[in-house]
Amino acid sequence: MNISLVLQMAADTFADRIALTHNSVDYNYGRLYASAKAAAARIVESGASYVSYLGESNPATVVALFGAALAGRPFAPLNYRLTVPETNRLIERLDPVFLIADEDKLATIPTGAAQVVMSAAKFLATVITDQQSDWEAPEDEEGVAVQLFTSGTTGEPKAALLRNQNLLSYVLGTVEFGSAEEDEATLVSVPPYHIAGISAILSSIYATRRIVQLPQFSPVEWLKQCAEQRVTNAFVVPTMLTRSSDIWTRRAPYRTSGRCARSHSAAARCRCRWCNAHCTCSRTWRSPTPMG
């Protein structure tokens, strides 16, 4: 098994249910899974050993993650806030790589640095229209599913390898499949290069809870999306919670409580009475606590 099982189960059971909302456009589980299979075919055909994503969260992020899993390639999202030289050094470490990037990042990538370079918009448009009916994910539980680069203050970033077995054990052990009601929605504003962003995608899809993507976090826009999209759950990191606290306090009182999920992990769970959303705040990248 690999992490593609998460999306496959959701697509097989709830193909027509809305899985993702981005800029008011909806994508159902069946559409996402078909796109991921088409992406896998292109990734394998390219001969790339890695799939990387450089940009803000959008539907291409989710398709690339599962497309890489179906192709048996590690998904290595890059921090789009790094300098150009820092980013290019990481791209070199992923050679040969199938690189998907935001439009404004394409010009910063040296010619020949990647096996394939596509804009996120072109990648998504291509795989949505491609037809790939039959595709089997590789049975590689020990294989690397996600490769994240740490953002230390000194030295080159180190690669954190997250294997299929580890991620699946986490999701299957903490989330009940299909447990979300059809009207439930999770607001995800954590960037894709953060473990919390990967965890939010996997956990929400396995629970079949609609994901509402917020590419750039701001407290005001976050609360606005909570209200407009009728968000019931949200996933934030501590810095986001801190920046939002003043606005939450001014607009409506909220309460928080702490709980420890594991010996090395803590989470703060709050409910904002203004937008009525539950939030889970991950205090450690190693073991973020799922929503629900």
**Res 233: pLDDT:** 85
Q: What pLDDT score was predicted for residue 285?
A: 31
Compute how many other C-beta atoms are within 10 angstroms of the C-beta atom of residue 233.
Answer: 26
Which of the pair, 256 or 42, is modelled with greater confidence? 42
> What pLDDT was estimated at residue 276?
47
User: Which range among 33-47, 106-120, 133-147, 180-194 shows the weakest confidence by mean pLDDT?
Assistant: 133-147
With beta carbons less than 8 A apart as the criterion, state whether 112 and 18 touch: no
- pLDDT recorded at residue 189: 87
The pLDDT value recorded for residue 237 is: 67
pLDDT tens digits, 123-161: 999 999 887 667 887 878 889 999 999 876 667 889 999
More confident residue, 280 or 226: 226
Name the pLDDT band for 267 (thresholds 50, 70, 90): very low
Q: For the beta carbon of residue 242, count every other beta carbon within 10 angstroms.
A: 12
Please tell me which of 4-18, 217-231, 244-258 the model is most confident about, judged by mean pLDDT: 4-18
Question: Does 64 or 244 have the greater pLDDT score?
Answer: 64
Mean of the pLDDT values across residues 112-126? Answer: 94
Mean pLDDT of the chain: 83
- β-strands 210-213, 97-101 pairing: unpaired
Instruction: Classify the phi-psi angles of 147: left when phi > 0, otherwise alpha if psi is within -120 to 50, otherwise beta.
Output: beta
The C-alpha atoms of residue 11 and residue 13 are separated, in whole angstroms, by: 6
To the question of pTM greater than 0.95 for the whole model, the response is no
**pLDDT above 70: residue 292:** no
pLDDT above 80 for 284: no
Beta strands in 102-200 (DSSP E): 116-119, 144-149, 159-163, 185-188
Tokens 């299979």 -> residue = 37
The residue-averaged pLDDT of 22-49 equals: 95
Q: Residue 252 carries which side chain, given as an amino acid letter?
A: A
